[in-house]
Amino acid sequence: MEWILYLAVLLVYFGVMIFIGVKTRASANSVSGFVLGGRTVGPWLSAFAYGTSYFSAVIFIGYAGQFGWNYGIAATWIGIGNAVIGSLLAWAALGRRTRILTRKLDSATMPDYFGKRFGDSKLKIAASVIVFVFLIPYTASLYKGLGSLFSEAFGVPYFVCIIAMAVVTAIYVLIGGYMATVWNDFVQGIIMLAGIVVIIIAVVMNFGGFTQAINDLSSIAEGGQQGAYTSFFGPDLYGLIMVVILTSLGTWGLPQMVQKFYSVKSDGAIKKGMIISTLFALVVAGGCYFLGGFARLTADSSAIYDASGNLLYDEIIPTMITSLNPAVIALVLVLVVAASMSTLSSLVMSSSSTLTLDLIKGVKKDLSHKAQISLIRIFIAVFIVISAVIAIIYDEFGLSFIAQMMGVSWGALAGSFLAPYLFSLYWKRTTKASCYACFGFGVAISIVALVISMCSGSLPQGFKDSFIYEYFFSSSIYVGSWTMIAGFAIVPVVSLFTKRPDKELVDSLFEPLRIMTAESERLSDVALGGCGKVTIVGTEAAAENADTDDPPHVDEK
């Protein structure tokens, strides 16, 4: 009778999601409101929206099992990297400048930012195409973690799980837009925080307690090394570093992640959101990978192998929880659905807004606000349907092309956008040519990696034994990481040898940043009686309200 409990919990959860969508529908009457919540989102909602978009069921079910199996307890470093690099440093480096510059440019998407930042509509179109092509397979990958877990609980077909999640997500996003998404993200984030803590405790106790589990894990040898899976850096330090780079630094270049900073209401909210987001990531990501670190203790279970004896990474975590209390399993089900729905809603919002505001509106300039909102809603539904169909086809037929596309999509997006975006926020000398170069390099390398992975069985043995294959092309993780790293050389080198950007455009764009820097020195200026170069008017009001949305008024002297 456990299935009644599971079904009841899920129905209540789905009901809450839809209710929030209905309650926030008033905020979705304008393009800015529907896409960015009117840029008035506070620190808690912003931080939880960032965190829940970051961590999906792919991490809890797929990555936790896979990397926990490969690296043991050292996989926890991935979660720590996600918290420090992917959250703390991301908010510190990108948050404030993204908020100010995107408001100055009145841009709602990353492609639109690139187009306006460099005064080139073709650059916006190029970025839009990359987002459109690579976000769809990435979106489809979100469903991968649900199938085995739901079949364990309900014994229902995989496609039923996908359709149920897709329908509920579509309803609340279509009704309430961005505000429905961030409020639901907040609820989903609370579920994820509580769920991961309870699950870790339950699973570890099921293994005989922490000390017993560690002792059992330390008895497993790898490559002649006893205790490899309880060592500080695990049995494969290079692979571990590459995973940390891809999953942590990669978020800096993902459109759906960076877009969270567009909607934050103030600099004060950025600072608070940075702390909240970091703690959220430390618990959720650190907890997931710590749990996955005990994956090898399930090695004797036949459930994690297929008929041919091949290891099924997606079955490791479900195998860990199948013998737990039904109430805990119900919590796991809600956690996985919450993690998937939060990321799914973020991805389809990013995809649909990009297609409408950057591609279609770029061609049809006179598109009304009402028509834009209607198109965004239509494309949200279309993207959800397409990603669900792709996931179902992959599950039914196991097409390697789809699986490989899912694998390279993160690296292609981050490899294309990370370096150009970061440099454009800080370096006035960044050129549009460097953006084109990085876009082309990121996509080209990803396509080459895709072809190589699909033809791996027929590759010459000499190439497969080579250094470049082993440390670059043998894994989509390696490809994505090195592609991102290469961008930090491509952008400055190309920028130094290509035409400088328009000085007037760049100076006007960075003016708000200069003003805000001057604000930090306002006490010394006031003490000097306004004799400095910049006198800030209304500093008392600014001091009383550090969360003001707009920079203080400035008189040049």
pLDDT at position 88: 97
Strands 225-226, 534-537: pairing kind: unpaired
Two tokens at 442? 């990121």
CA dist., res. 28 & res. 40, Å (int) = 13
Estimate to the nearest angstrom the gap between the alpha carbon of 186 and the chain centroid.
Answer: 16
pLDDT digits (tens, 9 = 90+) for 430-442: 999 999 999 999 9
Q: What is the model's pLDDT at position 420?
A: 97
Question: What is d(CA 229, CA 185) in angstroms, rounded to the nearest whole number?
Answer: 34
* Domain membership flag for residue 70: yes
State whether 372 and 517 are in the same domain.
no
Decide if 406 is inside a domain.
no
What's residue 524's pLDDT? 42
Tell me the C-alpha distance between 85 and 469, whole Å. 27
Cβ atoms 221, 230 nearer than 8 A: no
Whether the CB-CB separation of 131 and 346 falls below 8 Å is answered with: no
Residue 158: how many CB atoms within 10 A of its CB?
19
Residues paired with residue 222 on neighbouring β-strands, in sequence order = 225
Note the pLDDT tens digit of each residue in 47-80: 999 999 898 877 888 889 899 999 999 999 999 9
Domain-located, residue 457: no
Residues 401-441: tens digit of each pLDDT: 656 676 788 889 999 999 999 999 999 999 999 999 999 99
Closest CA relative to residue 102, chosen from 92, 112, 93: 112
CA 34 to the chain's CA centroid: 20
Percent of the chain with pLDDT over 90: 38
Nearest to 111 by CA among 358, 346, 352: 358
- β-strands 534-537, 221-222: how paired? unpaired
Closest C-alpha among 192, 188, 179 to residue 349: 179
CATH of the domain at 202: 1.20.1730.10
Handedness of CA 45, 50, 51, 53 (dihedral sign): positive
363's CB contacts (< 8 A; 6+ apart) are none
Final residue of a domain: which of 343, 368, 398? 398
Flag whether 249 is in a domain: yes
Q: Is residue 255 situated within a structural domain? A: yes
CA 169, 175, 181, 183 torsion-angle sign: negative
Q: Which residues contact 17 (CB under 8 A, 6 or more apart)?
A: 168, 169, 171, 172, 184, 187, 341
Angstrom distance (rounded) from CA 153 to CA 449: 37
Distance in angstroms (rounded) separating the CA atoms of residues 532 and 522: 10
**Are 61 and 314 in contact, with CB atoms under 8 Å apart?**
yes
Write down the pLDDT at residue 133. Answer: 86
Burial class of residue 492 (count of CB atoms within 10 Å of its CB; 0-12, 13-18, 19+): middle
Is the residue at 214 inside a domain? yes
Other C-beta atoms lying within 10 Å of the C-beta of residue 225 = 11
Measured CA distances, 420 to 107, 126, 253, 436 (Å): 16, 13, 9, 9
Rounded to whole angstroms, the Cα distance separating 81 from 88 reads 10
Helix boundaries (H) for 306-454: 316-321, 326-354, 361-363, 369-397, 400-426, 432-454
Whether 339 and 203 map to the same domain: the answer is yes
Residue 269 in tokens = 């909210």
What is the torsion angle, in degrees rounded to the nearest 10, for the CA atoms of residue 276, residue 282, residue 287 and residue 290? Answer: 180
Per the structure, how many domains does the chain have? Answer: 2
Instruction: Identify whether the C-beta of residue 154 lies closer than 8 Å to the C-beta of residue 466.
Output: no
| CA pair distance 325, 203, nearest whole angstrom | 10
Q: How many CA atoms lie within 13 A of 539 on its CB side?
A: 19
DSSP of 266-328: -HHHHHHHHHHHHHHHHHHHHHHHHHHTTGGGGTT-GGGB-TT--B-GGGHHHHHHTTS-HHH
Say how many residues make up the chain.
Answer: 557
pLDDT of residue 294: 95
Q: How far apart are CA 517 and CA 92, in angstroms?
A: 15
Question: Is 126 among the domain residues?
Answer: yes
State how far the Cα of 428 lies from the Cα of 495, in Å rounded to an integer. Answer: 10
Single residue among 368, 398, 428 that ends a domain in this structure: 398
Helical H segments across 75-209, by residue range: 76-83, 90, 96-105, 110-117, 121-140, 146-153, 158-206
Task: For residue 462, count other CB atoms closer than 10 A to its CB.
Answer: 8
Instruction: Check whether residue 524 and residue 384 sit in a common domain.
Output: no
Cβ proximity of 521 and 503 under 8 Å: no
Of 372, 398, 424, at which residue does a domain stop? 398
The whole-angstrom separation of Cα 382 and Cα 348 is 9
Hey, which residues does 226 pair with through a beta bridge?
Answer: 221
Residues of the chain with pLDDT under 50: 521, 523-557
Do both 384 and 522 map to the same domain?
no
Same domain, 513 and 389: no
Do 508 and 374 belong to one domain? no
Gap between the Cα atoms of 98 and 412, Å rounded: 21
Give the residue among 291, 319, 315, 352 at the shortest CA–CA distance from 169.
Answer: 352
DSSP 3-state helix, strand, coil percentages of the chain (rounded to 5)?
A: 80, 5, 15
Position 519 scores a pLDDT of 54
Q: What is the pLDDT of residue 1?
A: 62
Question: What pLDDT is attached to residue 526?
Answer: 46
Q: Is residue 394 part of a domain?
A: yes
Distance separating alpha carbons of residues 160 and 168, to the nearest angstrom: 12
pTM summary value: 0.86
Q: Which domain covers residue 200, as residue numbers?
A: 2-17+43-398
Amino acid identity of residue 204, one-letter, is V
